[in-house]
């Protein structure tokens, strides 16, 4: 089983001489923990990172000593420690984009009966940074920290559409190297997303990830140099029909992102 690619494998080509291999491996171990993982054993970490047993043992010991991992002696398993949790919350709380986006996302979630989320890229996946749900019992139950594939979801496709051409080319190559049998499908999905975004201002995904999920996504690149993000509105197909996605949700999402830009730039009033 191929381990999940880490950022150094996809974005840092040619920079190996500047990288600390111990730090890269330590961060790789922390990345091995996924939403829903209460704990991982050494064998789980070895399988997910591809690192040798001795390396995993040495680094997990160090991370535990520093509070980034907690070790349960009775179970022989690791969980994320308070230092890691604090680091994640610090990153989210310091993000002006996430902080300002949330009050704009909730009304859209309530209006549509769906879930509205903001996320960014983590290697070959998208990761949720924040989300807002309606009170509907059938909204998507993904949470901050959840991972989604790039080329099968509106969040990933919107993100790809928002990249600069050279950035997008590197991403496509990395995705195709990870799934060579899907190379043509990956290229076609991203090209279609670029065309949709140019024509409509948003990107759609109807059943590509899970057959019952429909979603609309918009890329957003803050002008202050903050990382590119994607904002999506998604739910089951019975709620977000293709007709409703284009007639209502797509335009509403585009308007919400425009409002977010105005808020970030200190001009909340519609000009």
Nearest CA to 6 out of 44, 23, 204, 17 is that of 23
Residue 194 CB neighbours (<10 A): 18
- Which residue is it, tokens 């591809």? 50
**What residues contact residue 160 under an 8 Å CB cut-off, 6+ apart?**
150, 151, 168, 171, 172, 190, 193, 194
Contact 106, 136 (CB under 8 A): no
207: alpha, beta or left? (left if phi > 0; alpha if psi -120 to 50): left
3-state secondary structure of 11: helix
Q: What pLDDT score does 144 carry?
A: 79
Q: What pLDDT score does 3 carry?
A: 43
Length of the chain, please?
Answer: 271
Q: What pLDDT score does 74 carry?
A: 87
Q: What pLDDT score does 8 carry?
A: 37
Q: What pLDDT score does 258 carry?
A: 94
**What residues contact residue 51 under an 8 Å CB cut-off, 6+ apart?**
25, 28, 29, 45, 59
DSSP symbols for 151-218: TTSHHHHHHHHHS-HHHHHHHHHHHHHH-GGGHHHHHHHHHHHHHHHHHHSSEEEESSSSTTEEEEEE
pLDDT in tens, the chain (271 residues): 344 444 434 555 545 557 788 888 998 898 888 877 889 999 999 999 999 999 999 999 999 998 889 999 889 999 988 888 777 766 665 578 888 999 999 999 999 889 999 999 988 899 888 899 887 655 566 777 788 999 999 999 999 999 999 999 999 999 999 999 999 999 999 999 999 999 999 999 999 999 999 999 999 998 877 889 999 999 999 999 999 999 999 999 999 999 999 998 887 766 4
């Amino acid at each position: 089983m191929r381990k999940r690619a880490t950022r150094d494998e996809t974005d840092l080509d040619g920079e190996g001489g500047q990288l600390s291999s111990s730090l890269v491996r330590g961060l790789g171990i922390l990345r091995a923990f996924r939403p829903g993982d209460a704990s991982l054993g050494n064998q789980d970490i070895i399988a997910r990172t591809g690192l040798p047993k001795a390396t995993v043992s040495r680094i997990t010991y160090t991370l535990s000593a520093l509070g980034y991992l907690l070790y349960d002696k009775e179970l022989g398993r690791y969980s994320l420690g308070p230092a890691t949790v604090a680091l994640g919350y610090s990153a989210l709380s310091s993000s002006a984009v996430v902080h300002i986006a949330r009050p704009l996302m909730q009304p859209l979630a309530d209006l549509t009966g769906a879930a509205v989320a903001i996320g960014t890229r983590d290697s070959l996946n998208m990761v949720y940074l924040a989300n807002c749900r309606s009170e509907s019992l059938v909204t998507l139950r993904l949470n901050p920290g959840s991972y989604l594939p790039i080329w099968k979801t509106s969040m990933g496709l919107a993100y790809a559409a928002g990249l600069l051409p050279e950035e997008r080319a590197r991403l496509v190559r990395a995705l195709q190297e990870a799934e060579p049998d899907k190379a043509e499908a990956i290229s076609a999905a991203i090209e279609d997303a670029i065309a949709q975004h140019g024509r409509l201002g948003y990107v759609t995904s109807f059943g590509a990830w899970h057959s019952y999920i429909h979603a609309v996504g918009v890329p957003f690149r803050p002008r202050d140099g903050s990382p590119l993000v994607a904002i999506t509105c998604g739910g089951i197909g019975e709620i977000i029909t293709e007709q409703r996605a284009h007639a209502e949700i797509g335009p509403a999402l585009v308007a919400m992102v425009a409002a977010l830009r105005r808020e970030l730039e200190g001009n909340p009033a519609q000009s």
